[in-house]
Amino acid sequence: MIFLQRTSAFEQKWIVRIILKDMHCRMSEKSVLNALHKDGYEYYTRCQDLEEVANEVCKDDFKLTRLEVKLNRPFKPMLAERVLVDEVEKWMSKTRDLYLEEVEDEVEASSDSTYLSALPLFYIEEKFDGERMLVHKDGDSVRVFGRTSKEWSAIYAPALQKVIVENVSA
């Protein structure tokens, strides 16, 4: 309370905006990070560690390379978009045709049907309302992150830990 009494209404407004992460600057995190380096935002979407991004992109020799997913470090998952069934069928058919073209000579020379049984499989997850979580397991330790990289371990790990540790071998 003493802190608020020592600040003006204008300063309090900015303090609240900082806390709420809503600065009303008409600048997105993408534009700010790309101002640091042309690959700044792309690097951030892969590692979600602002301190690491700032330290790395400011180096003269920084080059964006393939970034591995690391245990206990959140990342932004790819989000699906709504598509028409016809588009999905066309894409799946195209993928199947490309696969068959790649193995065509081998299929003709082979007398078995292993190539046809190895056609690409597609898994589709039905979207339901609810939380989307990334779960990281390291031995008996379980950490849970949301889509925005916020850690939810304190809420979800106690309920999930036993089931995950007993049933997931990673």
Residue 65 lies in a domain: no
Share of the chain above pLDDT 90, in %: 11
Residue 147, domain extent:
133-167
The residue with greater pLDDT, 137 or 90, is 137
Q: Report pLDDT for 143.
A: 92
Is there a single domain that holds both residue 113 and residue 153? no
pLDDT digits (tens, 9 = 90+) for 47-68: 878 888 888 888 889 888 876 6
pLDDT band at 83, cuts 50/70/90? confident
Residue 51 lies in a domain: yes
Residue 76 lies in a domain: no
Residue written as token pair 């058919």? 93
Q: Using CA of residue 164, residue 166, residue 167, residue 170, what is the dihedral sign?
A: positive
Residue 125 lies in a domain: no
From 29-33, 43-47, 56-60, 99-103, the region with the lowest mean pLDDT: 99-103
Is there a single domain that holds both residue 105 and residue 139? no
User: Stretch 89-96: mean pLDDT, rounded?
Assistant: 72
Residue 150 lies in a domain: yes
pTM for the predicted model, two decimal places: 0.47
Is there a single domain that holds both residue 17 and residue 43? yes
pLDDT digits (tens, 9 = 90+) for 154-165: 999 999 999 999
Residue 67 lies in a domain: no
Residue 75 lies in a domain: no
Separation between Cα atoms, residue 169 and residue 14, nearest integer Å: 47
Q: Count how many domains the chain has.
A: 3
pLDDT digits (tens, 9 = 90+) for 123-141: 555 656 777 788 889 889 9
Residue 102 lies in a domain: yes
Is there a single domain that holds both residue 108 and residue 139? no
